[in-house]
Structure 1
């Protein structure tokens, strides 16, 4: 009898241990965010979006690797000449993280302040690393157009506990355009190299769709309910009203605005008040199902996507912060807040 009671006590302690052990103690959570990787991948695939470009879009998306193969890494100094750090062909997801360089002070002499390519900083204002395609023989103009082979396009997913819904999950889908084309406003140039865009799908703890946030520039993004969105199946067939989020009709449709690549749920003229109007339309269609990569967390990237640890800019330094290339996803406020 005593042996039986001892076994019960041991079993009880073991159960308490399992209940107290966080999910990331399991080898199934390799990015240590408290969510099993298999669950992240399940949600990620279920809601992978369909992207529709404007019929007159000149600047398509690309994968990160496609872009890195075509750019050099440079270092920006305020008031001094920029430096070449890595030549085109030498930039990849590994070399991207291994660079360091001195800032320059008076008379453009090194001032013993070391900047690492994984540092978070205001590169436009304070100097730092950035990526840039060569403008020799207008090679940059070719890179700006993105990858012409749609089969190579990729979307990068970041899954986390929801910041807006208790016990829910947020799935951020990030996509990269090598160039952002936009009209100038009051003489201020809005064009810039590099363009990270995203939407965030929020689901409840049963993995049911709750809403989706479609990001846009100048904090103009909006959150939409299922009734306000179009959903497609992996074959690109649109769901009728009574078919939304049933079967395989779970993939939200994104209309990418011409040039600016802001995300909208409909085709047509998108009024932005005093800012230049965006235009979306039924051009090239891309279903991202099977083309989404789970990048994990910045501290623990998944699937070799270490680019999320690069703290520099994706594009050259412009005359203003607006016309300067953006930071990568994990260095933007939206990474944790949408």
Structure 2
């Protein structure tokens, strides 16, 4: 298929994905533990609802919808970058330990650092970023070989090992903490969407707005990094510099997302794969599709999960894992 045909196909898929997201948002606004019928959505959105209807829609459902949508986009972006940089189709921030590193940092900060309520929301993404960045640096160091460069298979194995080790550290950290704080960390580990208020959206939105255009700007470099190292160096790419910049971008995107949603994996694995199957491996084509699909996947998982069991529902992280684990096993066997 020619590039122009692929571009037309991409635009149609982006349009279809956007429509799918809008339909899921409408469904998510109209279903839930508190009743809000679909025929009341438009009047309530335009300020003609009762106090209860306004509270349910604007204070409960819309913030949660926006958080899951933005977080899914950020996780998909992170997974897309990781897969291209490492040349490994199994790379995902949740699988290779990046999310676990962010989780340990959040747990330590939440349990042992005095928290200012006003700045807590905006500090969390930074704390998660520091923890995730340290973890990513260690994984990179242990996966890198001077003779072979970055080994994609070793990266996954080291990442899974770090993920398990960090999960053990998390258990040790919370074993002596207060019950109320342990409950919060347990919800975070399960991938329960906890940052369901407007300030969390304002804390997450700048990261998404900055990192998505920056990644698209770097799409040419990502395409070259997807080649073998000799080819990338041969066309004049500053390999280590570009790889470092893009890994930091991926870590920042994942950390910002999980700081408000909890430990959610597999979105960054599935969304890029589906996007590549639809429009091919060019980063400038599949990344926008992956970002929209990632947002929709997490939104759909959370919408279904919170309505299966009343009143709290099933955490979105568990719902995504129910789909993601078989998909990961399929890719592992295939690759």
Q: Taking structure 2 as the reference length, what is the TM-score of the superposition?
A: 0.25
The structure with the largest strand share of the pair is 1
Structure number with greater CO (CA < 8 Å, separation at least 6) is: 2
Q: Taking structure 1 as the reference length, what is the TM-score of the superposition?
A: 0.25
* Greater C-alpha radius of gyration: 1
